[in-house]
Structure 1
Amino acid sequence: MIVTLTLNPSLDRTIEIAALDRGAVIRAAAARLDPGGKGVNVSRALLANAVASRAVVPFGGDEGRQLVRLLRQEGLDMVTVPVAGRTRSNVTLAEPDGTVTKINEPGTALSPDELDTIADSVLAEAREADWVVASGSLPPEVPEDVYARLCRRFAGAGIHVAVDTSGPALSCALGSGPALVKPNLEELAGATGMAIACVGDVVAAAAKLRAAGARTVLASLGADGAVLVEDGGAWYGEAPVAEPRSAVGAGDAMLAGFLAGGARGERALVEALAWGAAAVGLPGSRMPGPPDIRRGEVRVSRPDPARLLTSAFAAGDGRRADGGPVPAGAERHPPPSSR
C-alpha cells in the first residue's frame, strides 16, 4: 500500500477558456471542481488504477468539508485530520494549446500540535505501507524542515519515503535521505543552482541531488518527458500528447505511475510517463484510469546528453534561460516534437 500526505490540500476549480486576455470579460468554455493537493492527487490516480492507497488529509472550514465530501464521493480511502484553519481554494485557467495559469491560495497555518497529530496519523497508517509520499507546498508558518523531519521519522521505521516539493523544503529534505524525489525542471534548477538546457544537464543535476542524499531522482520535464537517475544508471523517456487539455496534476499522476510500476528502472519510467501523459489529455485535475493510459506510445532509452530541452532554466534563479520570468504555477505543454 502507498500512504500519501498532503499538508496543504485544496479545492481546485479549473476553467477552460479560449485565451487569457487580462482586463477583459472572458466566457468559460467549461468548468469543473476537483479535490486537489499533490498527495491527494497521487492517491486519486492510484485509486483510478486499483492500486491500494490511503491519503492523510488535514481539513478545515466549509472548503475543507467540501473537499472531504468530494473525496468520499470518489471512494478514496483516507484518514481526515481536522485543523483550526480553512482549507484553501485554487483556480486554474486552461487554454486550448495546453497553456495553464494557476492562482493558488497560500493555505492555512498548522500549529505544532496539529503537525504532530498529522505525523502520528501518517505513521500509524504507514505500518502497513511500502511507501509514504510527502508532497506539495507547505502552508504558512510551517517549518521548512518539516518534510526532512518526517523523512527521518518514517525512515527510522523502515518505510520508503518519496518527496515531491520545492524550494527550501526540498533542499532540507535531501539531507534526510529520501528514497525518491520528483522535481520538475524549475525545481531541479533551483535546488542545484545549475543552468539546465539539455538532457545532460538534467542528469548532472539529478546526480547532485543524489549526492546530497536522495537515492533516486525522477525529474519531470513537461513536454520534454522525464529523466530517471538511480543506482542502476540513468534513463530518458517521452510520451506524446496529441491534444493537451490540462497539466494540473500531471506530475502527481507521473509519480503515482512510477510507484505503481515498482519505483525502479525502465518499466517504472514507462508507467510514470504513460500516466502523466494521460493526465495532460484530461480536463481539470481528473486522474487517468486504465482506458486513458497508452504505454505503447512511450519511448524510453538511455539519455542523449546533447539533446536540447524546449524549456531551459538559468542557474537556480527561477528564470528561463532566455531571461524571461516563469510565472508561479504556470506551465506550458505544447504537442511534443517529432524528435
Structure 2
Amino acid sequence: MARVLTVTLNPALDLAIRVGPLRLGEVNRTESTRIDAAGKGINVARVLRRLGHDVTVSGLLGADNETAFLRAFAACGLHDAFIRVPGETRINAKLSEPDGRVTDLNGSGPRIPAHSLEALTERLWTLLPGLDAIAICGSLPPNVTPTQLAELVTVIRQFRVPVWLDTSGPALLAGLAARPTGAKPNETELAEWAGRPLDTPEERLRAALRLNAEGVDDVLLSAGAEGVIWARRGTALMAASPRVQVVSTVGAGDTLLAGTLHGVLSGWPRERGLRFATALAAESVRHIGVGDPDATDFEQLQQQTEVRGLTVDPLPGETHG
C-alpha cells in the first residue's frame, strides 16, 4: 500500500443531471440527478483508495458548504488535510445526454486569501515526507495564478516525491515548465503546449515525446475514443479502449490517471498498468462516477483492451529523450 496525496485547489460540488435529448429554450425533464463532493483530485483519491492505497486529500475548500465533502471523505476513508477558506465551494452542473455528450456549466470558485495559500504550502511541507506520489489536479480558483501553481510543483520536487499534474490552459503551461514527473493532457491541451494543431496520432506522439525530452518523464495523453498514449522517457505505448455503452464521461480522465498511478506504485510493467487504467476508465463511462475495479466484468474489459508499442522517426534536429 502506497502513501499518496492529491491536491485539489478548486474543488466542486458536482451536480450530475441526465436528460433525454436536450431542447434548448424549453422545459426539459431530468431522468436522474445526483450531487457529489468532487474535484479532479478528489476523484483520483477515491479510485486510489478503493485500490488499497493510503490517500490524503488536500487543497482549498470553502468553509460554508463543507458538509458533503466531510461525509465523502469519511465514507471513502480519505484523510482530510484541506485548508478551509471563507465562502462556498463552487457548484458544477454536468448535463449528460443519451448520445454521451456532456455539457459542463462550471463555477469559477471562491477568491482565496493570501494567508490561505500560504497555509496550504506550510501544510504540504508537513505532509510530503514519506509520500510515494502526489497528484495536483483541476483548475485554479480565480485569484490563484499559474505561477503560484508552478511554484507549488517546484516545492514538491525539492522533496524528490513524484508529482503528477492534470490541469489545463495557462495553469498547465506554467506547471509543465516546472517539470513535474508526469502530466495527463488531452489532445487539445497538448496542442496548446506545442503551439500548433496536432491533428494526427503521429503528431500527438511526437509532441508527447518532445515533452519527455524537455523533462516531463511521463506523459499520459487521453484522446477519447482514439485511445490513450503513454510516453515515458522517449518510449511510448498506446491502448485502445474496449467498446462500452457511454452514459457519462465525467470522471473518466481522473480514473485513467488513478489507474495509471496504481500500476506505477504497484511496480507493474507499463503494459499491464496501461491496460488496467484504460479498462478502468472505460468501466467508468458506463455510469455516473469514477471507475469501479470490483465490477463483475472488469477482468473481461482488461482482456478487451489492446496495448501496443509506438514508434516514430525523429524529425531533423529532434530528440526523444
Q: Which residues of 2 match residues 1-339 of structure 1 at below 5 A?
A: 1-231=3-233, 233-262=235-264, 265-283=270-288, 285-291=289-295, 293=298, 294-303=301-310
Count of matched residue pairs: 304
Distance in 1 (CA, whole Å) between partners of 2:124 and 2:278 is 28
Task: Give the aligned partner of residue 310 of structure 1.
Answer: none
- Secondary structure (helix, strand or coil) at the match of 1:31 reads strand
- Secondary structure (helix, strand or coil) at the match of 2:264 reads coil
Distance in 2 (CA, whole Å) between partners of 1:150 and 1:216 is 19
Change beyond 3 A, Cα 1:59–1:76: same
Distance in 2 (CA, whole Å) between partners of 1:57 and 1:72 is 17
Unaligned runs of 5+ in 1: 306-339
How far is the alpha carbon of 1:112 from its aligned partner? 2.3
Taking only aligned residues, the RMSD between alpha carbons, in angstroms, comes to 1.8
Distance in 2 (CA, whole Å) between partners of 1:50 and 1:241 is 27
Query: Does the aligned pair in 2 maintain the 1:59–1:87 contact within 8 Å?
Result: yes
How far is the alpha carbon of 1:211 from its aligned partner? 3.5
- Secondary structure (helix, strand or coil) at the match of 1:248 reads coil
Distance in 2 (CA, whole Å) between partners of 1:42 and 1:241 is 23
How far is the alpha carbon of 1:245 from its aligned partner? 0.9
Query: Does the aligned pair in 1 maintain the 2:7–2:136 contact within 8 Å?
Result: yes
Q: Runs (4+) of structure 1 moved beyond 4 Å? A: none
Query: Does the aligned pair in 2 maintain the 1:177–1:214 contact within 8 Å?
Result: yes
Query: Does the aligned pair in 1 maintain the 2:57–2:81 contact within 8 Å?
Result: yes
Q: Over residues 181-225 of structure 1, what are the superposed CA-to-partner deviations in whole Å (9 max), with x where a residue is unaligned?
A: 100111111111222222111111112322333121010111111
Identify which range, 225-234 or 288-297, moves more after superposition.
288-297
Query: Does the aligned pair in 2 maintain the 1:16–1:93 contact within 8 Å?
Result: yes
Q: Over residues 147-199 of structure 1, what are the superposed CA-to-partner deviations in whole Å (9 max), with x where a residue is unaligned?
A: 21111111111111101111111111122221101001111111112222221
Task: Give the aligned partner of residue 328 of structure 1.
Answer: none
Query: Does the aligned pair in 2 maintain the 1:176–1:213 contact within 8 Å?
Result: no
Matched to 2:46, the amino acid is R
Task: Give the aligned partner of residue 325 of structure 1.
Answer: none
Query: Does the aligned pair in 2 maintain the 1:199–1:303 contact within 8 Å?
Result: no
Distance in 2 (CA, whole Å) between partners of 1:126 and 1:222 is 33
Q: Over residues 63-96 of structure 1, what are the superposed CA-to-partner deviations in whole Å (9 max), with x where a residue is unaligned?
A: 3333222332333232232111320011000112
Matched to 2:148, the amino acid is V
TM-score normalised by structure 1 residue count: 0.85
Matched to 1:274, the amino acid is A
Distance in 1 (CA, whole Å) between partners of 2:120 and 2:174 is 20
Q: Over residues 111-160 of structure 1, what are the superposed CA-to-partner deviations in whole Å (9 max), with x where a residue is unaligned?
A: 22211211222232221211111111000011112221111111111111
Change beyond 3 A, Cα 1:125–1:287: farther
Query: Does the aligned pair in 2 maintain the 1:147–1:173 contact within 8 Å?
Result: yes
Q: Over residues 263-292 of structure 1, what are the superposed CA-to-partner deviations in whole Å (9 max), with x where a residue is unaligned?
A: 672222112212211111122x34423226
Query: Does the aligned pair in 1 maintain the 2:235–2:311 contact within 8 Å?
Result: no
Query: Does the aligned pair in 2 maintain the 1:174–1:212 contact within 8 Å?
Result: no
TM-score normalised by structure 2 residue count: 0.89
Distance in 2 (CA, whole Å) between partners of 1:109 and 1:268 is 38
How far is the alpha carbon of 1:304 from its aligned partner? 7.3
Query: Does the aligned pair in 2 maintain the 1:146–1:169 contact within 8 Å?
Result: no
Identify which range, 239-248 or 205-214, moves more after superposition.
205-214
- Secondary structure (helix, strand or coil) at the match of 1:201 reads helix
- Secondary structure (helix, strand or coil) at the match of 2:43 reads helix
